[in-house]
Structure 1
Amino acid sequence: MTTLPLDHNTESARLAALYEADLLDTESEPEFDEIVEIASEICGVTISTITLVDAERQWFKARKGLTESETGLDVSFCALAIRQLETFVVEDSRTDIRLQSLEPLREHPDVRFYAGVPLRLEDGHAVGTLCIAAPEPRQLSEREARALTILARHVVGLIELRRTRRKMNELLIDLKEFATTQERITQLATRLLSVIAHDVRGPLSSVIEVLDVAPDEDLVELRDTIQRHAIVAKSLLDDILSWARTMIQGGPIASDIHVETLVASVVSVSASDAAAKNTTITVHREIEHLHADPNILRFVLHTFITNAVKFTESGTIDVYIKHDEAGRVTVIVRDTGTGMSDRTRERLFDWQRRGGEYGTRRERGSGVALLLVKDFLDLIGGTITVDSKQGIGTTMTVTLGDV
C-alpha cells in the first residue's frame, strides 16, 4: 500500500479542488444514488457511500445503510483512504495494525470491514471516496475490487462534469460582464466624439478666427493669445486620445503617479487664463505619490480647473488632493466664481439635457467634458459631488474609487 505524504499546501490544493466541484451540502441526485446502490449489490454489503472529505468532516453525497449525512474525521476511514494511490482495504478494524493508534476507527460500532477507492480528479487531488463497509470482518474479492474501481471512475467523471459546468457558468458571467463593459465603452466613445466636436473645436476655432481677422503686423502681439488657445486644445486632445487608448486596451490602467508633477502640468495649461482674470490657483497637496490611472486623474483635474477658471473673475481656485477617511484618493476643486443655479446643477450629468454656460468673459463651452468625467468615475467605481451657490462659488469633489 502506497500512502501519500500530507502537508499544508497539498491539503489546501485538495480542498480547493473539492470546493470547485461545488457538491458539498447539495441535494441527493439519482446519478450518484444509483452508484452506491450498484456498489452495495455487487459487493453484497449493507453500507455504501460516496464520501467527500472536507477540512473537518466527511459528508456523504450518496449513502446506503447510513442515516447521518456527515460525521467527524475522527471516525473516518475515508480520510485515510484519500491518501492512498490504490483501493484502501481494512478486512478487520479490530486487528489491523495500521489502526492501532486510531481507537475511534478500531472500535467503530458499525464498521469492521471497509474498502474505499479514492476519487482522484484529473489534477491529481483526491476529494473523497467511493466506499463499502460491513459490521463484520471479510475480504474484498478481485471482482469486487475491479467493480468498485470502475464505479469510482464514473463518480470522478460526474464530479469533473460539475467542475466543468461551474467553470462554464463563471465564463458566461464573465462574458456577460465583458459585453456590458464593452457596451459602456462604446457609449463613452460616442460621447467622446462630442467632446472632440465641441471642447476641442472651440479653442481651435478661436485660433482660426484670430488668424483670419488679424493683420500680419498684429500677429506678433497676438502670439500669446494664439499660443494659449492652441495649448488648451492640444492638452484636451492629448487627454482624449490617452483615454481612447486606455479604453481600447481594456479599461483603466493604474500606475505610480508623482502627484506634484502631474498637477503642475495640468495647472500650467490654465495658468495664463487665470492670470488674465486676476485669479490665483493654489494647490494643496497632501499626497506625494499615489497609484491610479494618470489619464483619468489628469482629465478630471483638467476639466475641473478649466471650468473653475472659466467662471471665476478676480477670485481664487483651490485644488486639494488627499485621502478621505476611508483612505480613498479625493480630488477637490473649490472656486469663488459665479456659482450655478439649481437648474444648471440638476442637468450637469444628464446627457439628454446637456448644454454649456457662458463664462465670465463669454467663453463658450458644451459641458460635455464634465459629463465624460462622470462616465469615467462610473467605470472605476468613483463618485462625484457638486456644491454650488450663485454668487459664492462652486466645489467639485471626486473620489477616484478602484483605479
Structure 2
Amino acid sequence: MSSETNTKSRGVSEPTDHPLLVSTEEQDYTDLAELAASLCQTSIAAISLLDQGQLYFKAMKGLTPQQLSRENPFSEQVIETGISVLIPDASLDSRFANHPWVLGPPHIRLYAGVPLRTKGGEVVGTLCVMDSIPKSITNAQIKGLQTLAQQVLNLLELRAKTRELEEKYTILQDNNHLLWGTVSRSSHDLDQLNSELETLLYRASHDIARPLSSLEGLSRLARMESLPDDQRRLWEGVAHTTKEMRNLTNKFQQISEALSEAPEISFPVSKIEELLIVAVSRVRDRFPEANFSWEVIDAESSPLSVSPQLMVIILTNLVENVWVFRKTNQKEPPWIRLEILPTDHAVTFSFHDQGIGMSPQVVDRAFEMFYRGSEASKGNGLGLYVVGRVVNALSGVYFITSEEKKGTTFTFSLAI
C-alpha cells in the first residue's frame, strides 16, 4: 500500500456541502478517468465525489454506475483513512472478499485509489482504478494518480468559479437594469436642472443689465459735471463697480449660451481669424487701452461644424487673459499665435501667448469657477471656467501647458 500523510479523514456518514461538488457530468472528467486507466493499464477507472455522506460516481471508464451497487467500500476506505489505498487482490482481503463487487460482476480484484483533497485538507472524493485481474501498480503510477487527482480538483474548482461568475454576472445584469433606470431618471432630472440654470442665468444677466445701464449712464453724466474731488472719486468708483458688474453679467450670459443648444453652423477654419478679430474688439470694449499683435497659422482650409458665437466666446476669454496676464514691463503689445491643425475628424486649436505664465499649482485649478490664480487678476475668476464649459458644450477636449515668465498655451480640439 502506498500512503500519504493522513491530515484529515472523513467517514461516509459525515455530510458535506462543499461548493465544488455542485457540478454536472462533463466529458473533461471522463477524459481524466480514461487517462488514469491508461496510466495504470486497467480496464476500469472512476471519479467518485462525496455529497451529504454518500458517494456518487462523477465519471467512469469501463463500467456504468448502473452496473454497480451504491455501496463503494473501496473508496470509502480512502475517504475514511485520507490516504492512498492499494489492494492487489480484493478476493484475498478479508475486508472486501465477500463484497458483491468481488463475488460477482465486475469481479474486482485490483483496486488503487487516491483521495481528492482540497487545499484546506478536506477530502471530497476519490480517483481510482480497478481491474478483474489481480496485479499491483508501481509507486510511479500511484504518484501519477495523485497528479491526476489534483487535476480533477482543479477542474472542479474551475467549474465552481465559473458558476460563481455566472451568478455574479446575472446579479450584475439585474443591477445594471436597475441602475440604468436610475441613471435615466437622474439624467432627466439633470437636464431639467440645466434648463432651469440656463433660464436663471439668462434672466438674471438681463435683469441686472437694465439697472447697470442706468448706473452707467448716471455715472457718465455725473463725471461730466464740475464736482468736488471726493464726489468725483465716488462716481468713478461707481463707474468701476458697474463696469465689473457688466463683465460679470457678460460671463453669466456666456455660460447660459454654453448650456443652451446653439445651432450648428458650418464655416471654414480659414475664417477663424475673423472670429479672433471680433474677440479682440470685445476685449477692447472692456479695456480700451488694450492692443495686440497676432498671427494665425492655418495648415489648410477645413469645414468645421460649430457655432461661431460659441467660438467667439472661447477666443474672447482667451484674449482677455492675454491682456490681463501680460508682461507689463514690455513696450510691445502682447503677442498671440493661433495654430490650427485640421485632421480627418477634428480640428485642434493651440492658442499661445508670451505672458507671465502659470505655476503648476495654478494650472491644476485654472478651470475652477471663481478661481483667480494671480494678484494680477482683477476679474471675477470666470474666464477659463467659461472656456471649459463652452468646449464641453461643443463635445471637445482641452488642456493647458504653461511656464512661468515664458507664457501659456491653451489647446482644444473640436470634432468636424
Both proteins in one fold, TM over 0.5: no
Interval containing the TM-score (normalised by the shorter chain): 0.3 to 0.5
TM-score, reference length from structure 1: 0.41
TM-score, reference length from structure 2: 0.40
Tell me which structure has the larger Cα radius of gyration: 2
